[in-house]
Amino acid sequence: MLRFDAVRIEQGDFRMDADLSIDAGARVAVIGPSGAGKSTLLNALAGFLELSSGRLSWDGTDITDAPPARRPVAMLFQDNNLFPHLSVAQNVGLGLRPDLRLSPEDRARVAQALGRVGLDGMGERRPANLSGGQQGRAALARVLVQRKPIVLLDEPFAALGPALKTEMLDLVAELVAETGATLLMVSHDPDDARRICPLTVLVDDGCAAPPVATAPLLDNPPPGLRAYLGN
């Protein structure tokens, strides 16, 4: 179980509170108005941002002060963050070793992850020689290869067309189901949440609320969310 225990996060004038738990293996959308703090919540969990107060724990182990690399967390960012001068396999290998000194086992893991996302035989290409969807898959492989129990996606597929986005969302759902990973996904599209996240954390008004069932929340949104969703 992932636990935010009386967490407060501050950034300049912005402050947000979170007191909530997420069961291992849950798939959770993080939804709320622009500027509400969705990315901030993920960044704090990934260790890119210090808490002002409160504790974070995973499976009963306190991770509040752990550096990002020691946390049980792998994060996929908005623009995929592939390095253009590295091969696809090297980009994935960065998930294992930032210095890219990959052992034969590491290389085998990279190849396996590439195969799992449908990029067999494309490891030697540069990202520029992949389609947008294939680049998304490469970035997913980098998350997968880390075998971390918590996967964070911050609006990962916003730039993709609807068909490709659906395909990537379904691949994410499949991969986390296979590995048993817990998923937190920021999205501006409520249909993304409905598609692969049975639960939703609503971030609004300086608070990240405990997860609730996604469909009833979106069918009958509270006023702040209703205004944001435009219905």
Using the rule CB under 6 A, which residue among 2, 17, 39, 74 binds ligand ATP?
39
Residue 50 Cβ vs ligand ATP, minimum distance, rounded to whole Å: 12
The reply to whether 38 sits near ligand ATP by the rule CB under 6 A is yes
Q: In this chain, which stretch among 29-37, 134-142, 156-164, 206-214 interacts with ligand ATP, using CB under 6 A?
A: 29-37
Using the rule CB under 6 A, which residue among 6, 11, 23, 81 binds ligand ATP?
11
**Cβ nearer to ligand ATP, comparing 31 with 199:** 31
Residue 46 Cβ vs ligand ATP, minimum distance, rounded to whole Å: 12
**Cβ nearer to ligand ATP, comparing 34 with 220:** 34
**DSSP SS3 for 162:** helix
The reply to whether 227 sits near ligand ATP by the rule CB under 6 A is no
Based on its alpha-carbon atoms, the radius of gyration of the chain, rounded to whole angstroms, reads: 18
**Cβ nearer to ligand ATP, comparing 91 with 187:** 187
User: How does strand 150-154 pair with strand 73-76?
Assistant: parallel
Beta carbons of 88 and 130 less than 8 angstroms apart: yes
Residue 33 Cβ vs ligand ATP, minimum distance, rounded to whole Å: 7
Burial class of residue 83 in the structure, from the number of CB atoms within 10 Å of its CB (0-12 exposed, 13-18 middle, 19+ buried): exposed
Count Cβ atoms below 10 Å from residue 21 Cβ, excluding itself: 13
Which single residue brings its beta carbon nearest to ligand ATP? 12
Residue 161 Cβ vs ligand ATP, minimum distance, rounded to whole Å: 21
Q: What is the x/- site pattern for ligand ATP, positions 168-197, by CB under 6 A?
A: ------------------------------
Helices 132-145 and 162-179 cross at an angle (nearest 10°) of 10
Find all residues with CB under 8 Å of 20, minimum gap 6, and list them.
Answer: 3, 4, 201, 208, 209, 210, 211
Residue 93 Cβ vs ligand ATP, minimum distance, rounded to whole Å: 29
Using alpha carbons, list the distances in angstroms from residue 185 to 90, 108, 168, 193, 201: 25, 28, 13, 8, 10
Contacts with ligand ATP in 40-59 (CB under 6 A)? Answer: 40
The reply to whether 12 sits near ligand ATP by the rule CB under 6 A is yes
Find all residues with CB under 8 Å of 33, minimum gap 6, and list them.
Answer: 204, 224, 225, 227, 228
List interacting residues with ligand ATP (CB under 6 A). Answer: 11-12, 14, 32, 34-40
